[in-house]
Structure 1
Amino acid sequence: MVRSVVCETYLEEYLKALSQKQGSSIGLLVGQPSSQSKDHIIYLNKIKDDGVADQENKGLLEFDNQQISQHALVETRILPGGFYIMGIFVIYPKNVFEDATLLKKVKTMLVDMRHTFNSNPLIKGNCDELDGGEKLVFYYSSSSNVFGCKSVALKSDNLSVRPCDWKFQEQPAKWHILSTFFETDEVFVLKKNKNEDQYDTEGNLTDCVEKIKQQLEKSIVFFDGAPVDGKQLVEDVIRDKKDDPLLVHIYSPSLSTKDISLRKLESLPGILKFDGIVSSKVFVHPKNTIAEATAFIKADVIRSLMSRVQIHCDSLVQSEESLTQDTIVLNELPRRIYYPIRAKSNQILFSEYLLSEETKEIAIPHTQETLDLHLTPKELCATVEIVPEVKEEEPHDAKECDTGSADRVEGKLNMSLIGTLATITVLVIAIIVFYLTK
């Protein structure tokens, strides 16, 4: 069966403009794959190569695979639930499918991209359950505007190439947005680096996300307050709702309650309290099943959490050597903001992440660099998640705490003794007066 891919016509205008401006270009295809129906491309953007100044006369073999893979990883962080990097597009005078050298280069790009996603599994870059491990290669001629598309089976030994049916269509696809919040409040063991007396911040935070992923796998997603059969189509569930949004709630299983007699005290090097609220926005096609929508929601929460961890750790400048063992460190993960990509189908929203001290204007140059998308501050919605008001606690010396506590206890004992003596004295006086007046 030939894989069918649908792309909105307005995106072809971007390709035409890019081919006229640059003779050769590499970019990413963003969309939603389907195991049963058509694949949908909702966005595409070029990758800027900082290593070569002359972009217009650059050959395809000069593009850096590692830079393309890293760009794909960064771009995946800002995608909402339900969307993935589905492959690459190539603008070049020669047909990449008719030149063995060029085709081999394109294959290595996709292989390196897959390896990068495999090295960052919590970013949820691969979606083998929907695309079977195949990525798309879309070729657009910069000389004749001729185009073609094929898929590369990255899980096969010979990286076989298969034909695809690519169509630009005027009628936009319809997408439904599923919005929800996921709250976590967990405590985990803080681990140190092997053979070192330092804490691995990124490693510990990554372990937290992995454990939350395991928790989410056991969670149940309710739609409009009730579980829904996973085989049902989204269009069947929302058929009677008209314009009302489909309410989504995530219910996680409670922790197992063991017999208190089986519990034991354990000495730990430290603990990490991981708590907060994560916003999630997922876009589903009417032909998606509820099971697919559920998987998109869970994947978006994990992708968002892991993206925050990576962005936060990249921003750290404080040396871990300056932290003493009893120091309490506050790691504020960045918050999520949303913005439209101006898709003609509807208001599809991508996201960006801001550190606590950053304003939303900071996201504009990064969005332009990553997506080749020009935004204004008014288009950025930074009210879905807010900056939490938190205060970092200060460590105290244990001896000072013990001394102070003992003094307070001793003071309380003295006051009790004085009160008891006073009561006895009053009682004796009352008895003497009673007998003297009798």
Structure 2
Amino acid sequence: MTRSVTLSKLDIVYLEKCCADLGVTYGIIICQNMEPDNFLVVHLAKNCEEDVELLQKASEIEDLQGPSSIEDISTQALATQWISACKMCPGTFNVQGVFVTSDKQNIDDDQIFIAGKKMLHDMHILLNQGNNLCASIDEGNMPILFLAYSTASKEAVCKAYTHNTMGGSFASMNCHFLDKPIDWHAFECCYELDNIFPIFDDTQKINIENQFHRAILAIKRSLSESEIFIENGCVDESVSLEEFVTKNRKREVNGNYKATIFLPVKCNQSSEHFVKIRKFKGTIRLSGVISSRIWCNNRNTLGDVQRFMRNDILRSLAARIQVYCDGLTDPHVSNDAIFISEPPRRVFFNLFVDGTMNPIQFSEYIFRGEAPTVAVAQAKQVLDLDISTENIVADMEGLPDEDIFSNISLSNLQKTSTQPIRNSAKYLTRSMYMLSIALTLLVLLFSIWLHYFFP
């Protein structure tokens, strides 16, 4: 069966605009995987990193010139944009491919796809380098879409790239175009996290990123066994979302349906080998509340809604941990060290393309004390979105109480609290001893005075 990709008319308008800005432009494709072989394009975002470099290098008399061909495209800039966008996408969507626009070459030129195959092969290697925690939650073996658009022929061609050691291969895809916008339905829930994970690594220096990766995989296994209720009821996974919305339209509150996650009971009394005693060198505790919000369309099923909700929670957790790990100068920490960290909170913002607001939202993460302008700058640089601070929804997650961290610090010091008490007892004993000596000397002097004056 031939794979297919569905675009909207706004996507074509955006590709035309990209061609007008520079000769050859490129960027990422964010999709929803409708079926194993059917992809719905949600957002196109050109790479803005090279725009900044060109503005810095260009003089007043020079014309801005972008890449003249696909061979000149920076795969490093593309991979960086890909990784950053993965953290900002809700669990419903994935960064699924790359688009290239040109105002000179026709898309039936085989040279475009030969160069595109090499570019995707190099980028695939870059994406798999390092310890990208967000990549550990996404589905593997998914093809990378390569969309080529030419203003010369007003035609778009998309192919699916599959990676292998021989350089990869392309497969043909059918392009479909939507005449009307898609009806999106929002689902949201709050997931309370309070887990402790043991560290069994007995080396002097522990790789904290690997330990976080183990924790994420453990939470992924737990969520896969969870039960998700929608509007306080158990649902049939095979029911289409269109049928569900028709029956529950009156129960919709503020445009969002509520979901609740019930985790499995971990005890199993029927197993005689359930209890295990093991020694460990340390622990990682993850505590807090994750606000999840996803968007689905009528072609999705309730099973898709549950799967997307699990993906969103995992991706949000992985994104926060990734931000923390990126700030480490050295991923190796001492096994007797104590670290207390406040992760960033999640904020949401709408998509605005050519002044038209899309009902779906993307997210960003800001730390305590950071202004929403940080999310505005990231939306422009990564997703090519012009938004304002008024578009930032920053009240989904509240700031944690500072007393929590101080209480944790005090609890860690409880085992050393007896030492000051012991020292004060020694100081008290020494004072009593000196006082008794002083009183003895005073009595002696008083006795000598009585002996001489009253013989």
Same-fold call, TM > 0.5?
yes
2:81 to 65, 71, 96: 71
Q: What is the rounded CA distance, in whole Å, between the counterparts of 1:59 and 1:139 in structure 2? A: 12
Corresponding residue for residue 278 of structure 1 = 290
Change (3 A) 1:65 1:368: same
8 Å Cα contact 1:342-1:348 kept in structure 2: no
Corresponding residue for residue 405 of structure 2 = 391
Corresponding residue for residue 95 of structure 1 = 106
Secondary structure of the corresponding residue to residue 16 of structure 2: helix
Paired AA for residue 371 in structure 2 = T
8 Å Cα contact 2:231-2:259 kept in structure 1: yes
Change (3 A) 1:270 1:152: closer
Q: What is the rounded CA distance, in whole Å, between the counterparts of 2:319 and 2:120 in structure 1? A: 22
Corresponding residue for residue 249 of structure 2 = 242
8 Å Cα contact 1:118-1:126 kept in structure 2: no
Alignment of 1:65-144 (within 5 A): 65-92=75-102, 93-100=104-111, 102-115=112-125, 120=132, 122-123=134-135, 126-127=138-139, 133-144=142-153
Corresponding residue for residue 412 of structure 1 = none
Deviation of 1:44 after TM superposition, in Å, equals: 0.2
Q: Does 1:185 align with 2:194?
A: yes
Corresponding residue for residue 19 of structure 1 = 19
Alignment of 1:17-416 (within 5 A): 17-35=17-35, 38-50=38-50, 55-92=65-102, 93-100=104-111, 102-115=112-125, 120=132, 122-123=134-135, 126-127=138-139, 133-154=142-163, 159-190=168-199, 194=203, 197-242=204-249, 244=252, 245-256=256-267, 267-316=279-328, 325=336, 327-342=337-352, 344=356, 346-389=358-401, 390-392=404-406, 393-394=409-410, 395-396=412-413, 398=415, 400-401=417-418, 404=421
Q: What is the rounded CA distance, in whole Å, between the counterparts of 1:397 and 1:60 in structure 2? A: 62
Secondary structure of the corresponding residue to residue 346 of structure 2: strand
Structure 1 residues 282-328: Cα deviation after superposition (integer angstroms, max 9, x where no partner): 1112111222221111111111111111112223469977x793x53
Which of the two has greater strand per residue?
2
Change (3 A) 1:369 1:405: same
Change (3 A) 1:146 1:269: same
Structure 1 residues 243-282: Cα deviation after superposition (integer angstroms, max 9, x where no partner): 6143211111122166999867655322222111111111
Q: What is the rounded CA distance, in whole Å, between the counterparts of 2:164 and 2:231 in structure 1? A: 39
Paired AA for residue 199 in structure 2 = L
Aligned length: 400
Change (3 A) 1:296 1:124: farther
Which residues of structure 1 form unaligned runs of 5+? 409-438
Which residues of structure 2 form unaligned runs of 5+? 58-63, 426-455
Change (3 A) 1:10 1:209: same
Deviation of 1:397 after TM superposition, in Å, equals: 7.5
Q: What is the rounded CA distance, in whole Å, between the counterparts of 2:210 and 2:165 in structure 1? A: 32
Secondary structure of the corresponding residue to residue 164 of structure 1: strand
Q: TM-score, length-normalised on structure 2?
A: 0.78
Identity %: 22
